[in-house]
Structure 1
Amino acid sequence: MSVSPLIWGITVVAILALLAFDYFFHIRKAHVPTLKEASIWSSVYVGIAVLFGILVLVFGGTTMGSEYFAGYITEKALSVDNLFVFLIIIASFRVPREDQQKVLLFGIVFSLIARTGFIFLGAALINSFAWVFYLFGLILLLTAGNLLKPGDHARGQSENFIMRLAKRFLHTTDHFDGDKLFTMHHGKRALTPMLLVMVSIGGTDILFALDSIPAIFGLTQNVYIVFTATAFSLMGLRQLYFLLDGLLDRLIYLSYGLAAILAFIGVKLVLHALHENNLPFINDGEPVPVIEITTALSLGFIIGVLLVTVAVSLLSKAGKAQTAINSARRHAVEFMDLGYTADPAERERVYRLLTQEEAQIQAMDLKYRNKAKDVDKIRALVAEAHRQHDEYPRQ
């Protein structure tokens, strides 16, 4: 089903309006969103995406609606994986808690721009060259394999390289000046880490686009559906970041689930490529009679894998131990870092989380506790956090 330019225009304006609303009503004044605020607005954006999908079902038909929901769920799952890397980048740059929203919104906007470019490029390639399906399928299969490698999320730790490069060729400062991108340093105009972290996130966004766009093209070749599913999956990502804060580490098997989904879609793309084959060295340039995976089967597989992945992660004792230990280390460092946040209420919130995680760790079996790396260093960090908390009222 073709979509009229009028519908395209209305859709683009609506998405830009949502981004503008997010900035002017939530981002302009730097603050740390409460759990209630993050929950409400995350639900609102998911509700908008679902409502849009229902409209697609009603006006576009069952096939178009199913393709939208399959694409939206897949892109949303991949966007949650993106949050792991955003978390690493933001932590490595020590972005003040109050200013993290602005960084996240920039990441969302840049990601939307990058993915839109890849969408139209991908559509043009598909329309001109049927063999592109082979390429997309290969990209997804390789990505699935990479997700199974330990430490895949470390790909977001580009801060050291960027900082070294920036310091070598540009005048930079090590300190944030609120949410400013430039500041005066030793009488000269200098770049702040805020600009550098945005560049770092922008670079990783391009890498994410290389993963996600082939994935959704494996579910539908309708450019309107690809664009809207991608755009709505990014809406509310900022709120989701704060809502899932402390829970992201708990999803220890998410990479396996995403690997299964991407491999499934990669196989689906290769099968489709064989069905549409025109490469002379494959079956003499004739289509290969193979089965094609339906959208309904794709949607069911994606939802099933995500449900199993989340359930196993949340119920796993090893996952609970790893989450509590990693979170205790992170919150101890955050509490002691006044550059991260000097807000007394926020520091007290972080300290309460730290004590809760300590209680969870103490209640766990030793075999799970002792699996963590650098246990002695973590204990020392936590002890120092307690010491500083006891002295904080007198500071």
Structure 2
Amino acid sequence: MDTIAPLWLWIFFVVSVLAALVVDFVVMRNQGAHAVGVREALRWSLVWVLLSLAFNALFWWALKGEHGVEVANTRALEFLTGYLIEKSLAVDNVFVFLMIFSYFAVPPAFQKRVLMIGIVGAIVLRTVMILLGAWLIAQFHWLLYVFGAFLLITGIKMWRHAGETPDMEANPALKLLRRVLPVSSSLDGEKFFTLENGRRIATPLLLVVALVGITDVIFAVDSIPAIFAITTDPFIVLTSNVFAILGLRAMYFLLAAAAEKFHLLSYGLALVLAFIGTKMMLIDVFKIPVFVSLGVVATILAVTMVWSLKTAPRIVRGDSGS
């Protein structure tokens, strides 16, 4: 697997991610179980975005010294495009997480810990998937066409089913987990296991953690090939993916408060996948410049979000005097 990043930058990336996770866990432990408000979610979202941009600036500086400004500009733009794509596709994760928490009636105070565990698992699994994917593409170039066709078909399916609410009772992963694990009828605080009739069994919160992890893996099958359409450098694919995932928890609490206002965003995400899939299939015929891809993705998301806000369903409040 060829990568343009120097070894010291790989080491710096790994150390930075580990340090960020440790700090996040320490802060979470000191705060204890509590519901994350919009202001706190917005503050942490800005922190993660600024950290991602700072890392990209360091990446640009490192490449500028070794390969020149032109190469540095191109690679930094690839990171930014990959980050935006992963960040936008993660919105679908957020809406599914919201549905899972609602289905199991998980109090907001307990959701933070579940998402943190899910993020750590997502980073590990996605790292394996990205490195494996980079190796496969390096060995079999034709896989890019397969990934492209898959993204295009996924985009079409997402468009057709946009706005539909998934049926949790029909979820095969949930059915399998319930067969494998005996589960208590109610939560026991933030515990994953509890005693019931003298027997140690799982709580619904453990099912929630498992479903969050499974959901992320499923969405990674879409998002990771999408970034490979921008670049095949494993360093850029991995770093842009991980930095987007690090801010997923804060983005969840931010979007959860305004989920209804972005009710049309699924259509925009479907167009993004279809565009990236088409770009990937045309890679050996016509290479779409990175800045064009960034512009198209940003425009689609901006238009869809504005359109959602303008057509957001109004909440009709009941008459308090009745």
- TM-score, scaled to structure 1: 0.74
Which of 127-136 and 156-165 deviates more?
156-165
Q: Kindly report structure 1 stretches of 4+ aligned residues shifted beyond 6 Å.
A: none
Aligned to 2:296: 301
The 3-state SS of whatever aligns with 1:130 is: coil
CA distance in 2, matches of 1:268, 1:168: 42
In the TM superposition, what is the alpha-carbon distance from 1:171 to its structure 2 partner? 2.8
In the TM superposition, what is the alpha-carbon distance from 1:9 to its structure 2 partner? 1.7
Aligned to 2:148: 137
Which deviations, in whole Å up to 9, do the C-alpha atoms of 1:316-337 show, x marking residues without a partner?
2xx233xx3xxxxxxxxxxxxx
Aligned to 1:378: none
In the TM superposition, what is the alpha-carbon distance from 1:6 to its structure 2 partner? 2.5
1:127/1:88 CA distance change after superposition, 3 Å: same
Q: Over aligned residue pairs, what C-alpha RMSD do you find?
A: 2.2
Aligned to 1:285: none
CA distance in 2, matches of 1:91, 1:174: 16
1:180-329 to structure 2, matched below 5 A, reads 180-272=191-283, 275=284, 290-316=285-311, 319-321=312-314, 324=315
Which of 306, 317, 322 does residue 358 from structure 1 map onto? 317
In the TM superposition, what is the alpha-carbon distance from 1:166 to its structure 2 partner? 4.4
In the TM superposition, what is the alpha-carbon distance from 1:111 to its structure 2 partner? 1.7
Unaligned runs of at least 5 residues, structure 2: 64-71
Unaligned runs of at least 5 residues, structure 1: 276-289, 325-356, 363-382, 388-395
In the TM superposition, what is the alpha-carbon distance from 1:167 to its structure 2 partner? 4.5
Question: Counterpart amino acid of 1:23?
Answer: F
In the TM superposition, what is the alpha-carbon distance from 1:162 to its structure 2 partner? 5.2
The 3-state SS of whatever aligns with 1:177 is: coil
Aligned to 2:27: 25
Which one has more relative contact order, counting CA pairs under 8 Å at least 6 apart? 2
In the TM superposition, what is the alpha-carbon distance from 1:358 to its structure 2 partner? 1.7
Match status 1:96 vs 2:91: no
Match status 1:121 vs 2:80: no
The 3-state SS of whatever aligns with 1:51 is: helix
| 8 A contact 2:163–2:263 mirrored in 1 | no
1:127/1:37 CA distance change after superposition, 3 Å: same
| 8 A contact 1:89–1:156 mirrored in 2 | no
Aligned to 1:147: 158
The 3-state SS of whatever aligns with 1:358 is: coil
CA distance in 2, matches of 1:35, 1:255: 22
Aligned to 1:350: none
- Length, aligned pairs only: 311
CA distance in 2, matches of 1:253, 1:212: 19
Aligned to 1:348: none
1:153-168 to structure 2, matched below 5 A, reads 154-155=165-166, 157=168, 164-168=175-179
Which deviations, in whole Å up to 9, do the C-alpha atoms of 1:5-24 show, x marking residues without a partner?
32212201211211121122
Which deviations, in whole Å up to 9, do the C-alpha atoms of 1:164-199 show, x marking residues without a partner?
544544332011111111111111111111111111
- TM-score, scaled to structure 2: 0.90
Which of 12, 15, 39 does residue 13 from structure 1 map onto? 15
In the TM superposition, what is the alpha-carbon distance from 1:30 to its structure 2 partner? 0.7
Determine what percentage of the aligned residue pairs are the same residue.
Answer: 39
In the TM superposition, what is the alpha-carbon distance from 1:294 to its structure 2 partner? 0.8
The 3-state SS of whatever aligns with 1:262 is: helix
The 3-state SS of whatever aligns with 2:183 is: coil
Match status 1:179 vs 2:190: yes
